[in-house]
Structure 1
Amino acid sequence: MSEFKQTFNSSLGKKLIMALTGLFLCTFLIVHVGGNLLLFKHDDGFAFNSYANFLTHFPPIEVIAYLLYFFIILHSVYALVLTIKNRRARPVGYAVTTKSPTSWSSKNMGLLGSILLLFIVIHMGDFWFTYKYKDILPFKEYRTNLATNQTTASEYKPEVPTFERSISTENNVEIVRVKDLHSRIQWSFSHLWYVVFYVIAMVAVSFHLLHGFQSAFKTLGWVHKKYDGIVSFIGTWLFAVIIPLLFALMPIIYYFQSLNK
C-alpha cells in the first residue's frame, strides 16, 4: 500500500492521474456538448429541459456526475501541485522560447487551468446548483398532439412544492410538466459580462486541450508513429476547435436573441 501511495505522490504518479482524469473529462465534454446542442432546437426548451431532468434524476447518471465532480477537483488540485512544483524547480525562464501555440499552452497550463476552475465554479453554481437545490426556477407544461406531433408550451404552477416532473396522456395529447432550466439559460446569457467570460473560458478550454489531450497519451505511453497523426488530428480539431466553438456559440446566439426581444 505504501508503494502504491508513493507512486501516486511522485511526479510521474501525479502526471498519470492528470492524464487519466483529463481523458475522462474529455469524454464528458463530448456528451455535454451533445446535450447542449438541444438548446438550438426551436421547441421552447422542451428537449433540453427533458434532458436536464434526466441527467439529475436517473441514478446511474447521478453517480457518474458526482464521479465527474470528484475528477474535476482531483485534476485541478494535481494541476496546481505540478505547476507550483515546476515553478520552484525552474524559477528562471528559458533563455530561448518558441512561439508556437502548443508551446504557449504547454507553458501556461496553470493559468488556463485557473481560468477553467473559476469558470466551472460559476457555471456549476449558476445552473447545476440552482437546478438541484434552489426553488427559484419556474415550470413549463408541454402539450404534444400525438397525431400531428405539434408541441405547445405554457407556464405551469405545481400544486405541491416537491414536484419535479410528470408525463401523462389525455385525448391523444402527451403532457409533460418539467422544471424550466432553459429559462435560466436565457436569463444568464442575456448578460454581456457572462457571455464574454464564457467565451474567454472556451478559448482557455481550446488551448488547454490543444496541449493536454496529446500530452495525456504521451504520459500514458500510448504513442506510436502509426497513430500519432490521428491523436494529433482529434486533439486539435475535435477538442481544441469544434467542441469549444460549439460551446461558445451557445451564449453568443442566446445573447443576440435577447437583444431582439
Structure 2
Amino acid sequence: MNTLSRKIVMAATGLFLCLFLLIHCLGNTQLFLEPEQAKLSFNAYSHFMTTNPIVKIISYVLYLSIIGHVVYALIITLKNRKAGGLYKRDNRGRASKWYSRNMGLLGTIVLVFLVTHFANFWYIYRFGEFTAVDANGNKDLFLLVQETFTNLWIVILYVVAMIALCYHLIHGINSGVRSLGLFHPKFVRWINVIGIIYSVVLCVGFALMPLYMYFTQN
C-alpha cells in the first residue's frame, strides 16, 4: 500500500471516529442529570449500546477503525522519519502549527487514554466481575463511573487527554478532509472553523464529565 492509500485509510477511519465521538459525547451528557435520573437513564443507554445487534456490528467497525488508525499512523510516522532522517532538523515551525508537528505525541497521549478508558469501563462492564444492577435490572455502569472518578489522578489524565485530543482533532479533521479529496479552496476557512468548533466543544464536553463527577462527590 502506497503513502496516498495509507493517508486515505487514516482519513476515513479518523472521520468515522469523529462521528462516533460525537454520538458517544451526546450519550454521556446524561451524566449531568440529577443522580437518580442519571443512573437509570445512563444505564438504559449503556444496556442498549451493548445489546442492540446493529450497534454491535457498528462497534466491530469502531474497533477495527481504532486499530487501523493507530497502525497506519505508526507506519506513516516511521516512514516520514526514515525519509527525512532521524536527526534532520525540523524547520517547519514558521509554516505550521506546533500541534501539526507533534501529532505523534498527541496521538500517543490519546492512545494511553484509550487503553485506560477501555480498562476502566469497557472491559469491566463486559468481562469483569461486575454484578451491580439498578432498579430497572440494568448493569449499574453509572455506579462504576462514579467510583472511578473519585480518583483525582484519573480525572487529571482524562482532562489532559481531552486537551491532546482537541489539538489532534483540529489538525486531523483538516488533514483528513484534504486526503479524501473533499477539500475545496473556496471553503478552506469554513472547514477550518467548523473543525475547530467541533473539536473544542466535543473535548470540553468530555472533560467536564469527570470534573463534574469528581467535584459533586468530594
**TM tier relative to shorter chain:** over 0.9
Distance 1:96 1:177, change over 3 A: closer
- Which amino acid in structure 1 is aligned with residue 164 of structure 2? A
- Render the CA deviation track for 1:28-53: whole Å, top value 9, x for unaligned: 01100000101111114111100000
Q: Are 2:193 and 1:193 aligned?
A: no
Q: Are 2:207 and 1:248 aligned?
A: yes
Distance in 1, Cα, partners of 2:156 & 2:8: 33
Residue number in structure 2 paired with 1:157: none
- Render the CA deviation track for 1:8-44: whole Å, top value 9, x for unaligned: x111111010001000001001100000101111114
Distance in 1, Cα, partners of 2:28 & 2:92: 43
- Stretch of structure 1 that moved more, 35-44 or 74-83: 35-44
Alignment of 1:20-59 (within 5 A): 20-42=12-34, 43-59=37-53
Residue number in structure 1 paired with 2:4: 12
| Higher RCO (CA-CA < 8 Å; seq separation 6+) | 2
Distance in 1, Cα, partners of 2:25 & 2:78: 32
- Render the CA deviation track for 1:102-156: whole Å, top value 9, x for unaligned: 6211111111111111111110121111111112241110xxxxxxxxxxxxxxx
Residue number in structure 1 paired with 2:193: 233
Alignment of 1:58-77 (within 5 A): 58-77=52-71
User: Runs in 1 of length 4+ with deviation above 3 angstroms?
Assistant: none
Q: Are 2:212 and 1:218 aligned?
A: no
Matching residue within 134, 142, 163 for 1:140: 134
Larger Rg: 1
- Render the CA deviation track for 1:179-206: whole Å, top value 9, x for unaligned: 1000010011110000000011101110
Contact 2:32 2:38 in 1 (8 A): no
Can you give the 5+ residue segments of structure 2 that lack an aligned partner in the other structure? none
TM-score (norm 2): 0.94
Distance in 2, Cα, partners of 1:235 & 1:96: 22
Q: What fraction of aligned residue pairs are identical, expressed as a percent?
A: 41
What is the DSSP-based 3-state SS (H/G/I as helix, E as strand, rest coil) of the residue aligned with 2:129? Answer: coil
What value does the CA root-mean-square deviation take over the aligned residues? 1.4
What is the DSSP-based 3-state SS (H/G/I as helix, E as strand, rest coil) of the residue aligned with 1:139? Answer: coil
Contact 2:30 2:38 in 1 (8 A): no
Distance 1:19 1:44, change over 3 A: closer
Can you give the 5+ residue segments of structure 1 that lack an aligned partner in the other structure? 1-8, 142-175
Contact 2:3 2:76 in 1 (8 A): yes
Residue number in structure 2 paired with 1:3: none
Structure that is richer in strand per residue:
1
TM-score (norm 1): 0.79
Distance 1:226 1:96, change over 3 A: closer
Matching residue within 103, 111, 114 for 2:97: 103
Distance in 1, Cα, partners of 2:59 & 2:42: 17
